[in-house]
Every structure is written in structure tokens, then in C-alpha cells.
Structure 1
């Protein structure tokens, strides 16, 4: 079972409402998500990724999403 990019974006924005999210895939199995959020200010890259992974926990746990490259930043 695969997940769509719109669902990835929705899950992240639900958990991190100030996030600007862009998710994409070339093959429906390997995804890239770019997340920019004020929430990330003062947080390390690891902490930023932990927040995004927590937002996606349900789909990571059920196997719908397993290959995700994350790019996270606070706005400049």
C-alpha cells in the first residue's frame, strides 16, 4: 500500500500548522519532503526531523511510507 504526496503534506501540516510543505515522488515508493516551519527555530536538524517523523508516525508504522528523504529548515 502506497501513500500520496497530498496525504504526507496533510499529516505534516496537521501536526505542524505553521509548516510550508512540499512532498514529491518519482515512483510512488520513494518520497522527498521539504518542510519549512517557524516551529523549527532554535531546534537542531535531528529535532526537526523528529517532529516530522512524529507527524508521520501512523503511516511509517503501518508501512504505507518507508522511504522518505527530509529537508527541514526554519524560515530565514
Structure 2
């Protein structure tokens, strides 16, 4: 079953409770998320994205994952 934007945001919010999070997409499969969080400061993009994928708790794993594609924008606050 495809994931909705609010479900993705809820998962991300568990790991990044103080982040600015914006999730977009209406097909439930190809989504985009912007996460701005202090925990990303000093981390490179790969480290930031790995933290986000870990927060999704396997929802993108394999061909049977509930979330097929998630375009990510991650950064620390200005």
C-alpha cells in the first residue's frame, strides 16, 4: 500500500522532532521531502540522507517497499 505524505512526515518526526519537514507528492509512490534539522550540521549529504532513510524504518527497502522513490533535500538550519 502506498504511503501518504502525512505518514512519511510522522515517521520522520519521530527521529527529527524539532525539524522543519515538508513532504510533497500525491501519488503515494513518488514523493519529495525537505528536512531542515540541526542534527545535519557538520554531516555530508550522504550521512544526512542515510539518517533520513534510517528514520523511514525500511519503508523504502526492496521492490516491495511501500515507498518507491523519495527525492530528498536535507540541510542544517541557517
Gaps of 5+ in 2: none
Q: Are the equivalent residues in 2 in contact too, given 1:24–1:31 (CA < 8 A)? A: yes
Q: Secondary structure at the match of 2:58?
A: helix
Residue 74 of structure 1: aligned partner = 76
- Greater fraction of residues in helix: 1
Q: Secondary structure at the match of 2:9?
A: helix
**Residues in 2 aligned to 1:26 and 1:7: alpha-carbon distance in whole angstroms:** 12
Coordinate RMSD, CA, aligned: 1.3
TM-score by length of 2: 0.88
TM-score by length of 1: 0.90
Residue 49 of structure 2: aligned partner = 49
Residue correspondences, number: 76
**Residues in 1 aligned to 2:66 and 2:38: alpha-carbon distance in whole angstroms:** 28
Task: State the 4+ residue runs in structure 1 displaced beyond 2 angstroms.
Answer: none
How big is the shift at 1:16?
Answer: 1.7
**Residues in 2 aligned to 1:26 and 1:15: alpha-carbon distance in whole angstroms:** 23
**Residues in 2 aligned to 1:43 and 1:4: alpha-carbon distance in whole angstroms:** 28
Bigger mean CA offset, 46-55 vs 19-28 = 19-28
